[in-house]
Chains A and B, each alone.
Chain A
């Protein structure tokens, strides 16, 4: 039981490049989330998917797109990376009041 997995763990991009962060969970959770965490700050919600087939914007969606590929997988895409998107990205999943369970994070640097 791996829980929530994220790939890659580290990534360096140049401004304007694109990339997709992958997330998968094996806990059969309905809801999945993407957060970013800037240095010394708390979590900010980018997008979430309450259930398979639905996605909704969070607090900071600009510059990102998401795909809920199936119940297990939820990907985050940066179409044209900017230095302001340098951050640690966390994926999480949850089921009805159990709380959110997090992946290990992806440390992204945009030069």
Chain B
């Protein structure tokens, strides 16, 4: 069975600094997709970034980028130039047979 592990319950970063959130996705599949979602205090779930496992190039969306290490099963999210609006819960997820398998989430605190 696939599992997604986020080992950091909470992270904090100074505004304008860079922070990396960690995630591991254990699967026997060779082709799959990985995602990072953001959930701000409004509770809306927002798709931040998506990575296809067969692509060697790491995905980037503006200030958000991933470091995907397939062999190590690692899928970390880097947020550059952190802003107050980045404060949220961040969930990592991997797809499996029409479903997403979710991590427990990391709470990101931005210090002004």
Residues of A at under 8 Å CB distance from B? 31, 33, 37, 42-43, 45, 48, 50, 58, 88, 90, 92, 94, 97-102, 104-105
Contacts and interface: CB of A to CB of B under 8 A. Distances in A.
B95 A97 contact: yes
A3 B88 CA distance: 22
Most chain A CB within a 10 A radius of its CB, from B45, B47, B52, B100: B45
Q: For the side of the interface on B, what is the size category?
A: 10 to 19
A48 B33 contact: no
A42 B102 contact: yes
10 contacts: A31-B98, A33-B99, A42-B103, A42-B104, A58-B99, A90-B45, A97-B52, A100-B47, A100-B93, A102-B46
Most chain A CB within a 10 A radius of its CB, from B44, B91, B100, B105: B100
Interface of B is mostly: strand
Contacts, number: 44
Contacts of A43: 45, 91, 102
A77 B72 CA distance: 42
Interface string B71-112: 000000000000000000001010100111011110000000
Contacts of B99: 33, 45, 48, 58
A105 B44 contact: yes
B33 A99 contact: yes
A58 B91 CA distance: 19
Interface string B22-60: 000000000001010000000111110010100000000
